[in-house]
Structure 1
Amino acid sequence: MTGPGSTETRILVALAGVLAATPALAHHPLGGDVPGTLVDGLMSGLAHPILGVDHLAALVAVGLIAARGAGLLAAPGGWVLGMLAGVALHMAGVGLPFGEALVAGTVLALGLALVAPGALSRPAVLALVAAGGFMHGHALAESIIGAEATPLVAYLAGLAIVQIALAAGIALVARGLGREPAQPAGLRAAGLALAVVGAGFLVSGLVGSA
């Protein structure tokens, strides 16, 4: 077993620290243009979730939640299902008020779920993950509105592939590639850093809209 000062713990803390120190990047890999081809749609879907620090931070949190025992595929799968539902709602023309604040709030909530692992049951954690995916999916749908069917399907496939792969990969690394459970001290430290990232985006969004 590894302890609080282990390499695993330092990696988790460093990963969250990088997110906290990284400036917000452009969210649109095509410069805001709607994808017009299958390749454009796929590349946009693959890149979009990792170009925004808020989206990337949420995926890191989902991976760490999976490593904590929520299920290697259950948590990433729940996130992606929620994400697809959020995309569908947006494409149906239903908007959400304070969308950016809701996205930031999910990062904060997921981080806090790691800080206090016993506060929520496993079903409640998975519900939180799915709700987070829903909010992020609604935001991610903005860049695909107006696209034709082929780039739209490719975009959704890219979104699903990259998010499941990233979250599951983080979970595997945090668990020592399946040899042992992730250490609570490292997960709490990473969760605290991610919660700070979410709080920063939330405050920035609220101030910017005031």
Structure 2
Amino acid sequence: MKKYLAAALALTATPAFAHHPLNGLPMETFSHGLLSGVGHPILGFDHLFFIVAVGILASFTASRLTAPLAYILTMLAGCVFVSLGFQMPLTEGLIVLSLLTLGGILASGRMTGQTATLALFAAFGFVHGAAFGGTIAGQEGGAAATVFTGYLIGLAAIQYAIAIGAGWLARTLFGATDATATNARLIGAGIAGVGAFLALEIVEGPIVAALTGAV
């Protein structure tokens, strides 16, 4: 069991996390961009866990179908922002913070107000979008407009579907109809745990380097 858990965590913790459904091949067509946009949030477990948290928290609000759009819209904005050549510092650390924050809220069993919840979705959405934008901006020569359009559509469609699906499953399959539900809190604890593990991955290198240098 420990062996399988370690393997799962190692896969989960691959820093931002190098995931690409085309196996690194260049994106040249609209369908390439669409496939890449659909694949990134699924293959990137940091993004996947976050959007699951968004969907479950959204399902506890009065706007369960529209609340995830606060994330989707700023995610697209962040993607465009970075693809235009702007820089987003500390992206990996902020993604970890997003997992710790939403996972912690779920685990606590206490919802924030709807305005605060939407603000968190929007703020962290920009960060996740910046990570997605960094992927496509890293292509040699950049991506064509048709590729980028497909990429954005794929990102938005799959993440909205995951968010709505996660909220629906939480309510119907796990009986989590409000924030106090035990199953919702357990899911939140798991998401926060992933964030904590990724945080350790980030700080591990500098700590080891510092200790090695001290010796």
**Category of TM-score, reference length = shorter chain:** 0.7 to 0.9
**CA distance 1:22–1:72, change in 2 (3 Å):** farther
| 1:29 partnered with 2:17 | no
Q: 1:192 aligns with which of 183, 189, 193?
A: 189
Q: 2:153 aligns with which of 128, 151, 157?
A: 157
- Quote how far apart the aligned CAs of 1:143 are: 2.2
The one-character-per-residue Cα deviations of 1:110-135 (angstroms, maximum 9, x if unpaired) are 10121234362111011111112111
Which fold has the larger relative contact order, with Cα–Cα distance below 8 Å and residues 6 or more apart in sequence? 1
**CA distance 1:115–1:70, change in 2 (3 Å):** farther
| 1:170 partnered with 2:166 | yes
Distance 2:26 2:60 in 1: 38
Which structure 1 segments of 5+ residues have no match? 1-16
Moved over 4 A (4+): none
| 1:139 partnered with 2:131 | yes
Aligned partners of 2:75 and 2:127 also within 8 Å:
yes
1:78 aligns with 70
Aligned partners of 2:53 and 2:191 also within 8 Å:
yes
- Quote how far apart the aligned CAs of 1:180 are: 8.1
1:125 aligns with 117
| 1:38 partnered with 2:18 | no
**CA distance 1:202–1:132, change in 2 (3 Å):** same
| 1:102 partnered with 2:94 | yes
1:207 aligns with 204
Distance 1:37 1:205 in 2: 35
Which structure 2 segments of 5+ residues have no match? 208-215
Identity over aligned pairs, percent: 40
Structure number with greater Rg is 2
Amino acid at match of 1:99: T
User: Which has the larger displacement, 126-135 or 182-191?
Assistant: 182-191
Aligned partners of 1:22 and 1:53 also within 8 Å:
no
Aligned partners of 1:79 and 1:130 also within 8 Å:
yes
Note the aligned Cα RMSD (angstroms).
2.3
Distance 1:110 1:144 in 2: 26
Distance 2:89 2:161 in 1: 30
Distance 1:31 1:150 in 2: 20
TM-score (norm 2): 0.80
Distance 2:123 2:151 in 1: 21
Aligned partners of 1:114 and 1:191 also within 8 Å:
yes
The one-character-per-residue Cα deviations of 1:37-73 (angstroms, maximum 9, x if unpaired) are 1110010001111101101110111111122226322
The one-character-per-residue Cα deviations of 1:173-203 (angstroms, maximum 9, x if unpaired) are 11218x9824622111111111010111122
* Number of positions where the alignment pairs a residue of Structure 1 with one of Structure 2: 191
Amino acid at match of 1:198: G
